[in-house]
Amino acid sequence: MSRAWLIGAGPGDVELMTLKATRALGEADVVLVDDLVNPDVLQFARKDAQIVYVGKRGGQPSTSQAGIVNAMLAHLRAGRSVARLKGGDPFVFGRGGEEQQALAAAGIRVEIINGITAGIAAPATIGIPVTHRDHAQGVVFVTGHGAGSSEPDWHALVATRMTLIIYMGMRRLSEIATALLAAGMPGDTPCAAIESATRPEQRHVRATLDTLASGVAAAGLGSPAIVVIGGVATLGETPIAGGDTV
């Protein structure tokens, strides 16, 4: 059986990939690439490597998770080494844990190569630290993608008084803000939304919780984006206002 890797490509900027990730890409026979991966990182793949695009984007046609696992297994059983390339970090909202489990069930050991997750990298691009002794003693990463029974416990999250970093929340930003307000978070809580972080097309909006959704809508920001909620969002390059866009 050949080698398998789960590789985090980082938030977008090619220079934020790890040396270990570039080395593994250069060894793989097959590279299965997620939709959010910057295609420029494929410069580190072997010239004769087979590149397979298995994009997964919310609300858009996507390769099924079962299909991705089956493709990995088929290549591995044929004697080919496989690199599964994901945006950010494979174990932070990247289904890397599920893929590791599936490969383990088939008797295949996979090497995990971490990447810088967008939840840390995106705020940093505009000078926002996710923790700060004067503002937050911790940080919580949460997906905004769920609804109904899979909805996060917003009351519990508000009670932590920690920085909230929301992935995949742009389509439901108004609902999320309303839920946080209903859970007792003050309307003047500083926030930021960063689209396409670390890429040349990056844009962001700073606002307060009660103006965030309208500010993002007015600026036309969309996915992929990271939302930061908490006092740390006052820090960095641009001041808080009703909806400043940069």
Catalytic residues, which ones? 34, 56, 168
Sorted by sequence, the CB contacts under 8 Å of residue 148 that are 6+ apart come out as none
Nearest CA among 181, 167, 171 for reference residue 211: 181
Tokens 């742009």 locate to: 170
Tokens 């997750």 locate to: 117
